[in-house]
């Protein structure tokens, strides 16, 4: 099945607004599959970039075509997904490849892997082995997410954004950081990130509830924010 380009909108909102909006949205959309009874869950992503952080530079420069790789897990590990996120203007395509823990951490180390372990991720594996991609920064936050069928809408509220350096000493199972090397806070105190993802259209009734017309969009990615905090860029 062909991948359908999706659109993304991001907003920096107050924690107070986030609580009000979550309460409203919970009556209209369903919690996503990673939630437990509608509760929030932890997202941990290890981003890969070139030695000179070309992916971050292209995001900052507003390049029309760009991409980034990340290895993502949830809560205390167990599920590991290698994600390739491609942006073309305002449209986004994401492919996900599930990995076992051993393969995931072998990729982090840049180890040699048998062909059956790299099926479907050959390009990433080649870039990783050639050192054209390396672990750049670990990003961690608490997410509350809701989904709807119309337009495949997904609305998320991300709080407590933290970052950690991607050093060999900290990139250990089951997640990609240690509590000691977290850098907090990344966001201004009392703020959250509202993200909206959809296919061809975003329903008007949700636009009205979220009062999007009065909110300025956020163009900076969590990856770039966290990379700057850790690297001092």
CA geometry: angle at 141 spanning 198 and 173, to 5°? 115
User: Which residues, 6 or more positions from 39, have their beta carbon under 8 angstroms from its beta carbon?
Assistant: 31, 144
Residue 172 has pLDDT above 90, yes or no: no
- Tell me the average pLDDT across 69-74: 95
Residue 4 burial (CB count, 10 A): 10
Domains, in order of start, for the chain: 6-231 (3.20.100.30)
- Please state the pTM of the whole predicted model: 0.92
Residue 69 burial (CB count, 10 A): 21
- Tell me the average pLDDT across 12-31: 93
- pLDDT mean across residues, the chain: 89
pLDDT attached to residue 151: 63
Q: Is the peptide bond before 185 cis (omega within 30 degrees of 0)?
A: yes
Closest by Cα among 188, 130, 199 to 159: 188
User: Which residues, 6 or more positions from 64, have their beta carbon under 8 angstroms from its beta carbon?
Assistant: 88, 89
d(CA 135, CA 51): 9
Q: Estimate the share of the chain in helix, then strand, then coil, as percent rounded to the nearest 5.
A: 25, 35, 35
Residue 103 has pLDDT above 70, yes or no: yes
d(CA 229, CA 233): 7
């Amino acid at each position: 099945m062909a991948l359908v380009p999706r659109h993304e909108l991001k907003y920096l909102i107050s924690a107070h607004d986030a609580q009000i909006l979550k309460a409203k949205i919970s009556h209209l959309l369903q919690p996503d599959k990673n939630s437990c009874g509608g509760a929030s869950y932890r997202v941990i992503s290890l981003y890969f970039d070139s030695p000179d952080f070309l992916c971050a530079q292209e995001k900052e420069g507003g390049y029309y075509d760009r991409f980034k790789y990340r290895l993502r897990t949830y809560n205390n590990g167990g599920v590991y997904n290698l994600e390739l996120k491609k942006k073309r203007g305002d449209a986004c395509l994401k492919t996900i490849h599930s990995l076992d823990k051993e393969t995931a951490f072998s990729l982090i180390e840049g180890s040699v892997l048998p062909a059956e372990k790299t099926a479907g991720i050959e390009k990433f594996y080649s870039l990783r082995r050639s050192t054209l991609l390396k672990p750049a920064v670990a990003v961690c936050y608490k997410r509350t997410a809701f989904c709807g069928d119309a337009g495949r809408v997904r609305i998320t509220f991300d709080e407590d954004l933290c970052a950690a350096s991607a050093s060999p000493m900290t990139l250990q199972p089951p997640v990609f950081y240690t509590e000691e090397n977290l850098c907090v806070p990344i966001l201004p105190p009392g703020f959250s990130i509202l993200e909206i993802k959809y296919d061809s259209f975003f329903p008007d009734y949700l636009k009205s509830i979220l009062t999007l017309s009065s909110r300025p969009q956020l163009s900076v990615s969590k990856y770039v924010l966290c990379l700057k905090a850790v690297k001092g860029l």
